[in-house]
């Protein structure tokens, strides 16, 4: 057994006993990397990753191409580092789906937030609710480069009518921007509200998710200020 093998086993034994309690970011990454890099000391690679990206969050936010630029990271390791956050995201989405009735902004936020975890690009989601505000459908409307997602009002109407929704919640993210509404957001919200009103469907809210928080058109009073309520 080499000195590296002994160190690896000590790390794993520490994790078996206490989980990641007591592990800093370096040791956490070092342990994870061992499963993709079986015959090298992964400590220097963990250091290199954190020096390059700044934090664990940023490591897991990095693209495969960005990860491959770090010395010691090969295709299999890059896939592992991309896989971990995606599994966490799926788990969070599954847990949030247990919340079937969205009776408040907080409920809608908690239901939708996992869908935007680790997203590098802007995307838009549509929640269809029945008369009791129970989720009928959660559907991705659009996906694009940052700040360039577009929402097709006609498609929203088609989805709402197909699933016999009584009300809708629109949501999109600002991956690198603030949790606030832009002029473009106001325009699409108004257009969508009026189109839905014409067919007897309520737009309950438009939520904007960002790293610094969540903006609600309903709670902020923006819907009222725009003259929609």
pLDDT tens digits, one per residue of 41-89: 999 999 999 999 999 999 999 999 999 999 999 999 999 999 999 999 9
CB neighbours of residue 195 within 10 Å: 16
Long-range contacts of 4-13 (CB under 8 A, 24+ apart): 4/40, 4/41, 7/41, 8/34
Return the beta strands (E) in 49-188 as ranges: 122-129, 135-144, 167-174
CA nearest neighbour of 40 among 2, 78, 86, 70: 2
CA nearest neighbour of 171 among 131, 130, 205, 147: 205
CB neighbours of residue 189 within 10 Å: 22
Separation between Cα atoms, residue 96 and residue 39, nearest integer Å: 39
Strand partners for 214: 209
Strand partners for 216: 207
Q: Are 145 and 174 in contact (CB under 8 A)?
A: no
CB neighbours of residue 160 within 10 Å: 24
What is the reported pTM?
0.84
Stated as kind and residue range, the H or E segment containing 200 is none
What pLDDT, on the 0 to 100 scale, is given for residue 125? Answer: 96
What pLDDT, on the 0 to 100 scale, is given for residue 1? Answer: 45
CA nearest neighbour of 111 among 87, 82, 85, 136: 136
Q: Are 189 and 142 in contact (CB under 8 A)?
A: no
- Rg of the chain over all Cα atoms, to the nearest angstrom: 22
Angstrom distances, CA of residue 125 to CA of 67, 160, 183, 211: 29, 13, 19, 17
What residues of the chain score a pLDDT lower than 50? 1, 229
Separation between Cα atoms, residue 9 and residue 5, nearest integer Å: 6
> Exposed/middle/buried for 72, CB within 10 Å: 0-12, 13-18, 19+?
middle
- CA torsion sign, 161 to 95 to 111 to 64? negative
CA nearest neighbour of 224 among 191, 190, 199: 190
What pLDDT, on the 0 to 100 scale, is given for residue 226? Answer: 65
What pLDDT, on the 0 to 100 scale, is given for residue 92? Answer: 93
């Amino acid at each position: 057994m080499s000195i590296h093998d002994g160190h690896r086993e000590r790390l794993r034994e520490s994790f078996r006993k206490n989980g990641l309690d007591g592990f800093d970011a370096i040791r956490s990454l070092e342990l994870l990397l061992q499963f993709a890099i079986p015959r090298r000391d992964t400590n220097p690679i963990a250091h290199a990753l954190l020096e390059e990206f700044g934090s664990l969050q940023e490591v897991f936010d990095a693209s495969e191409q960005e990860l491959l630029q770090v010395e010691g990271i090969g295709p299999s390791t890059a896939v592992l580092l991309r896989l971990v956050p995606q599994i966490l995201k799926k788990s969070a989405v599954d847990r949030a789906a247990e919340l079937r009735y969205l009776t408040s902004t907080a409920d809608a936020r908690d239901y939708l937030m996992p869908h935007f975890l680790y997203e590098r690009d802007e995307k838009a989601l549509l929640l269809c609710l029945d008369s009791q505000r129970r989720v009928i459908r959660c559907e991705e409307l659009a996906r694009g480069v940052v700040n360039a997602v577009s929402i097709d009002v006609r498609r929203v109407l088609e989805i709402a009518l197909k699933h016999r929704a009584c009300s809708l919640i629109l949501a999109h993210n600002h991956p690198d921007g603030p949790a606030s509404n832009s002029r473009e957001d106001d325009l699409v919200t108004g257009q969508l509200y009026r189109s839905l009103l014409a067919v007897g469907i309520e737009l309950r809210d438009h939520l904007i998710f960002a790293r610094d928080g969540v903006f609600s058109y309903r709670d902020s009073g923006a819907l009222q200020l725009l003259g929609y309520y």
